Amino acid sequence: MQERPQDKPLLTVCDLSVCYKDIPVLQGVSLTVWPRQIIAIVGPNGSGKTTLFKAIAGLLPIKTGRILFKGETINSLPLWEVVQRGLVYVPEGMSVFRDMTVMENLEIGAYLNRADMTERLHQVFELFPELYDKKETFAGVLSGGQQRMVTLGRGLMSGAQFLLLDDPFLGLSPKVIKRFCDAFRTLRKKGVTLFIAGQHVRRILNVADVAFLIEGGGITLTGSGSEVLHNHHLQQILFGVDTSLPVT
């Protein structure tokens, strides 16, 4: 799904550089995300995916560059204000509150934005009906896949218009991963934009409208999910494929 002429960029990252203890992690990263898309970013371990997400979400200071959300600079805003504006980061391995019910976990997600909470609950339960059936169950006894549904639902309860999902398929079975891919497509249709990173490269790129390859802290390849997946360079560095052979 490509951007339409009447759309304005939802997120713009301009010449972003981030250091960790004076060691450069991101260097001159620029990218644009349009509304109602599923975006993927893939790359080798340590290439800067999580650092990029944390910088966008306001969890890491930036050295140079700008981050604009809906046309306004957000890189100097406190985390709570970034969330209130509709940009929510769901980190890798984000856990549920185990001793609280599913409903209580979801309600916590709306603590910064209580408006339309009933409507958002309906959206979460429509997306994951099994959570409705277990809404009074302690979250700690749910399966791993169901707990991941709760953490995603918690992000949606904040009123998120833009979700940063760091390795959302970690530890999930292929069947549950398919459920999440279907859920992501449903959210896109409902107007939510998703930016996904992780090591399940094929799965992530197959669901993505647009994708980026990041290496050594910089974007080296941009295209549709399919184009990036079948790029010979990506096949070589991530899958160890001999680029002299045809890609299937």
Q: What's the pLDDT at 4?
A: 52
Domain of residue 76: give its range. 1-86+161-169+194-248
Q: Residue 118 falls within a domain, yes or no?
A: no
What's 32's domain CATH number? 3.40.50.300
77, two tokens:
């805003």
Place of tokens 């669901």: 207
| Residues in the chain with pLDDT values less than 50 | 1-3, 5, 245, 247-248
Q: Could you tell me if residue 184 is inside a domain?
A: no
Q: Does residue 137 fall inside a structural domain?
A: no
pLDDT in tens, 155-171: 999 999 999 999 999 99
Please state the pTM of the whole predicted model: 0.91
CA atoms of 114 and 120, how far apart (whole Å)? 10
Count of structural domains within the chain: 1
**1-6 long-range Cβ contacts below 8 angstroms, 24+ apart:** 1/36, 1/37, 1/38, 1/188, 1/209, 2/34, 2/209, 2/210, 3/34, 3/35, 3/37
Alpha carbon distance 132, 91 (integer Å): 24
Question: How confident is the model at residue 5, as a pLDDT?
Answer: 43
Tell me if 123 is assigned to some domain: no
How many Cβ atoms sit within 10 Å of the Cβ of residue 6? 5
**pLDDT the model gives residue 52:** 97
Chain centroid to Cα 230, Å, comes to 22
Query: Within a 10 A sphere around the Cβ of 239, how many other Cβ atoms?
Result: 11
Q: Which residues contact 137 (CB under 8 A, 6 or more apart)?
A: 101, 102
Query: Does 38 reside within a domain?
Result: yes
188: amino acid identity, one letter: R
Residue 47 lies in a domain: yes
For 176, residues 6+ apart whose C-beta sits below 8 A from its C-beta are: 144, 145, 148
- Tell me the C-alpha distance between 14 and 85, whole Å: 19
Strand 23-33: give its sheet, edge to edge.
Answer: 23-33, 11-20, 64-69, 72-73
What is the per-residue pLDDT for 242? 63
Handedness of CA 76, 81, 87, 92 (dihedral sign): positive
Listed as own residue / partner, the contacts of 231-239 with beta carbons closer than 8 Å and 24 or more positions apart are 234/42, 234/201, 237/44, 238/42, 238/43, 238/44, 238/201, 239/201
174 within some domain: no
Relative to beta strand 23-33, strand 162-166 is: unpaired
**Is 75 domain-assigned?**
yes
